[in-house]
């Protein structure tokens, strides 16, 4: 797999996994409160094989509430969150491989919405996502 890709095996798509994140996950919020991240680390046992993804141990999810804005704006925000994660995922992947853990991460907007940000760009989202990834790495 390519270093800067985001395959379907690397994404959280299962409702059960999202429920696990919301129940047992820990929350990190960016310094300017724009984006928050939920994460849950699970030790990989010999009976539980590591998924065959590049990095092998991080799954990411992206969600935006309907209250944040219209469908076009929400989809753009999700694309920007995915791109920010994809470009910098090695921050978490290397740590998860070192510690032999399966890490679930969900990136969600906290105080960012269409009312406050009519036009949103990668420059608005990227620094917060990188900051959150570094905070998560330090807490593992």
Give per-residue pLDDT as tens, 89-99.
Answer: 899 988 888 88
Task: Judge whether 5 lies within some domain.
Answer: no
Is the model more confident about 84 or about 55? 84
Q: Is the pLDDT of residue 51 over 60?
A: no
Name the pTM for this structure. Answer: 0.85
Q: State what percent of residues in the chain have pLDDT above 90.
A: 54
Q: Is the pLDDT of residue 57 over 70?
A: yes
Give the lowest-confidence range in 54-58, 70-74, 133-137: 54-58
Give me the torsion for CA of 14, 19, 24, 29, rounded to 10°. 90
pLDDT at 1 over 70: no
Compute CA 111 distance to the chain's CA centroid, rounded to the nearest angstrom.
17
Q: How confident is the model at residue 55 (pLDDT cuts 50, 70, 90)?
A: very low
Task: Specify the pLDDT at position 45.
Answer: 63
Contact (Cβ atoms closer than 8 angstroms) between residue 129 and residue 136: no
131, part of any domain: yes
The secondary structure of 76-138, three-state, reads HHHHHHHHHHHHHCHHHHHHHHHHCEEEEEEEEECCCCCCCCCCCCHHHHHHHHHHHHHHHHH
- Structural domain including 93 reads 10-139
pLDDT on residue 9 = 86
The Cα 135–Cα 48 span in angstroms is 27
Give a yes or no: residue 45 inside a domain: yes
5 versus 50: which is more confidently predicted? 5
Residue pair 62/103 in contact by the 8 Å Cβ criterion: no
Provide the number of structural domains found in the chain: 1
Residue 87 resides in a domain: yes
Looking up residue 80, the CATH number of its domain turns out to be 3.30.230.10
Report if residue 93 sits inside a domain: yes
Q: What is the mean pLDDT of residues 18-28?
A: 91
Residue 2 within a domain: no
pLDDT at 76: 94
Residue 135 lies in a domain: yes
């Amino acid at each position: 797999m390519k270093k800067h890709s985001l395959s379907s095996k690397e994404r959280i798509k299962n409702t059960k996994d999202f429920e696990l994140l919301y129940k047992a996950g820990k929350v990190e919020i960016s310094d300017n409160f724009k984006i928050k991240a939920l994460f849950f680390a699970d030790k990989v046992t010999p009976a539980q094989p590591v998924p065959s993804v590049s990095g092998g141990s991080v799954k990411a999810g992206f969600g935006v509430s309907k209250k944040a804005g219209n469908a076009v704006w929400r989809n753009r925000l999700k694309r920007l969150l995915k791109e920010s994660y994809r470009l910098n995922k090695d921050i978490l992947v290397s740590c998860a491989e070192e510690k032999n853990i399966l890490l679930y991460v969900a990136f969600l907007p906290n105080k960012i919405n269409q009312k406050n940000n009519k036009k949103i760009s990668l420059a608005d989202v990227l620094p917060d996502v990188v900051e959150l990834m570094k905070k998560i790495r330090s807490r593992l």
